[in-house]
Chain A
Amino acid sequence: MRDIAIVSSAQLPSVREMGPSDESELVQPVVTKALEAAGLTMDDIGFVCSGSSDYLVGRPFSFVAAIDGLKCWPPIQESHVEMDGAWALYEAWVRLLHGDIDTALVFAFGKGSLGPIPDVMNIQNDPFYVQPLGLDSISSAALQAQALIAAKKATERDFAEVAVRSRRNAMSNPNAQIKGEFDPKAIMKNEPYIASPLRKSYCPPLSDGAVAVVLAAGDKARSLVKRPAFIRGIDHRIEPASLGARDLTVSVSTKLAAEKVGVSTGKVDVAELHAPFAHQEIILREALGLGDDVVVNPSGGAISANPIMAAGLIRFAEAAQRIHDGSASRAVAHATSGACLQHNMVAVLEGE
């Protein structure tokens, strides 16, 4: 298979609410910055793919408005997934394998400031049995966290530790939203449960943000940047929609995808895991077989900045960044979709 690499990326810093900015104004700056970082212009790009969801703004055709943030004259080869941008990256990776083009631009954007996000996410649920009950995304995640405690796989203290470590890591990430030194004991003492056993600190913030990633194949990648992050394997798998049909304390789809891409065939230096809720990191670590020596979410993760539909692709950008800067030789990037980690993507990135 052809070598495909992430050669550059750019993000808008995630914030609770951005100033006036429509889709094109979210996309234009990150795309421009990511292209510049790779020394490319839109005219050099062979394929464009984006990820977004109309329900974040409650209006159809968000992606059409986003394309207005691009130079698309002459006409471009372009596609879109109504999914997290990580799946747009997957489509672009597949497209590059054809061999007739060498570069691709992937972007994603999401605003959490315009709608009632936990309730919006309920619209993902089964429209007959669950959606009418109004199961919001925090409550479904809480069911999973409680299952983890009941199975004695984790304690609430573990959740607090994940949150505190993530937000400490976020201090060195200019794009992160929630960052700083926090005390696990204080969190457990002072914060009420939103839905037990989840307190606010174990949940992701509401974020506005955007990300763009540039992919290039083989020698083209090597000619563009010093240390491309080559995608050695990428795979994604889905699980049943019904929470009751799954063991919520494990992530079989992540495990399956990890086996397909060979996560365990070499030492993992760093992993960027798309775990919007603290307890999900614990589940994902186990599914991926990551030991204590692996640096997990040096960016602070989705619990520190969570622009929905972009947060998964941001994990790819962050993991690739560790390869670009030489701080890691082998990195794992992960993205998730759906309630309680229903759909998971895993990739192994390597430097040369």
Chain B
Amino acid sequence: MTERLSAPYRLHYAYTRSTGPVIGRFLDSLRDRVLEGIRAADGRVLFPPTEYDEQGRATTGEFVQLRPTGTVTSYTWVNEPRPTHPLDRPFAWALIKLDGADTAMVHAVDAGKEKAMKVGMRVRVRWAEKATGTIRDIVCFDPISPIIKTPVDLNYFVRPGEHQSQYLHALAEGRFIGGRCRVTGRVYVPPRGATPESGLPTEDEVIDLPDTGVLTTFTVVRIPFEGQKLTPPYVFGAIVLDGADVPIYHLVSGIPYEQIRMGMRVRAKWKPREEWGTTLENIEYFEPTGEPDAPFDSYAMHL
């Protein structure tokens, strides 16, 4: 058998092309980032422009300026671009009808992933940084989002009121305080600038409250969210401290969540003293005291 002969061969020639009156003007306009189509004899706008329409009829010579945006009428996704392709990463070849044009052009869309491509999607020209007067002055098209980002970024101070401050300072010392309503005598935690029953501030003299109470009702949180302190599932509930008439809200833990129940007696589990600040977060969570549950009627008025 004779050896099969093979040698590399490159067909290469840098052509010089005459562009003629229509394509020449079009490509020259690209240097100025201007897109022009041409009006056909039947009134349609052809883009990119040609001297004749697809029926061979001469176009009118009337150039029509178009916006650099258009709509994808068809596309294909290229996972492995070839060296000749306009982009070196996965992209879409697309037929794109510029706004105001009646014919579509072929070009590339840099959409990142195939899922971002859709017939009917809106795209915009990405211009080459350095103009060459060729169709490559359009690098590719980018998807247009109907959404713009307008961040609002304002810096404020938060300054708790007098009653709230008193409460937070007490928490920083490991204490709960409440304030008595001047009309009904009921105890509010925290003390308040006004109680709904009186319209008056709670009494000036605050009341020290224990860190024990009754879990009146609760939810098992199973949904994750940003800044969450515990890993779901965990319990968040309303706790009426002994001697108070309104609940505070906190986490409940220390036993499996399935065993947590309405009426359970709980006590605050404080963080180490050195971590305390002016915040309810000094308490990690409330945990069962082990005492018998409170009967329903004893806390029903708090629900």
**A positions within 8 Å CB-CB of B:** 19-25, 27-28, 31-32, 42, 55, 57-59, 68-73, 113-116, 119-120, 123, 127-128, 131-132
Contact = CB atoms under 8 A, between A and B. Distances in A.
Given A115-B154, A119-B154, A71 B198 contact: yes
Q: At the interface, is chain A mostly helix, strand, loop or mixed?
A: loop
A155 to B, nearest CB: 35
B97 interface: no
A114 B158 contact: yes
B155 interface: yes
A28 B194 contact: yes
Interface in B178-226: 192-201
A68 B150 contact: no
A24 B192 contact: yes
A259 to B, nearest CB: 38
A115 B156 contact: yes
A42 B199 contact: yes
Contacts of A25: 161-163, 193-194, 201
Contacts of B5: none
A171 B148 CA distance: 49
Contacts of A68: 192-194, 196
B196 A72 contact: yes
A28 B202 CA distance: 12
Given A31-B199, A70-B199, A73-B196, A131 B150 contact: yes
Nearest to A25: B193
Nearest to A72: B196
B148 A22 contact: no
Contacts of B200: 28, 32, 71
A133 to B, nearest CB: 11
Nearest to A19: B162
Nearest to B197: A73
Tell me which of A25, A72, A115 has the highest count of chain B C-beta atoms within 10 A of its own C-beta. Answer: A25
A24 B196 contact: no
Contact of A32 (B158, B195, B199): B199
Nearest to A24: B193
Interface residues of B, number: 25
Given A31-B199, A73-B196, A132 B156 contact: no
Contacts of B154: 55, 58, 115-116, 119-120, 123
Contacts of A23: 161
B152 to A, nearest CB: 6
Contacts of B156: 57-58, 114-116
B42 to A, nearest CB: 38
Interface of B: 148, 150, 152, 154-165, 192-201
7 contacts: A20-B159, A27-B194, A57-B156, A114-B158, A116-B154, A128-B148, A131-B150
Nearest 9 pairs of A and B residues by beta carbon: A71-B199, A22-B161, A25-B193, A24-B193, A115-B156, A58-B156, A28-B194, A20-B162, A25-B161
Contacts of A131: 150, 152
A71 B200 CA distance: 8
B199 A21 contact: no
B194 A22 contact: no
B40 to A, nearest CB: 37
A22 to B, nearest CB: 3
Contact of B150 (A20, A42, A132): A132
Tell me which of B148, B152, B198 has the highest count of chain A C-beta atoms within 10 A of its own C-beta. Answer: B152
A116 B199 contact: no
Contacts of A72: 196
Given A25-B162, A25-B194, A115-B156, 16 more contacts: A19-B162, A20-B162, A21-B161, A21-B162, A22-B164, A22-B193, A28-B199, A32-B200, A58-B154, A68-B194, A68-B196, A71-B194, A71-B198, A73-B197, A113-B159, A114-B156
B201 A71 contact: no
A116 B150 CA distance: 18
B160 A22 contact: yes
B155 A116 contact: yes
Tell me which of A22, A28, A42, A72 has the highest count of chain B C-beta atoms within 10 A of its own C-beta. Answer: A22
A32 B192 CA distance: 15
Contacts of A115: 154-157
A115 B153 CA distance: 11
B199 A20 contact: no
B197 A24 contact: no
Contacts of B165: 20
Contact of A24 (B152, B158, B194): B194
A119 B162 CA distance: 28
A69 B160 contact: no
A59 B156 CA distance: 10
A344 B155 CA distance: 29
B150 A70 contact: no
Nearest to B151: A132
A304 B155 CA distance: 25
B160 to A, nearest CB: 6
A97 B254 CA distance: 59
Contacts of A28: 193-194, 199-201
Contacts of B194: 24-25, 27-28, 68-71
A6 B200 CA distance: 24
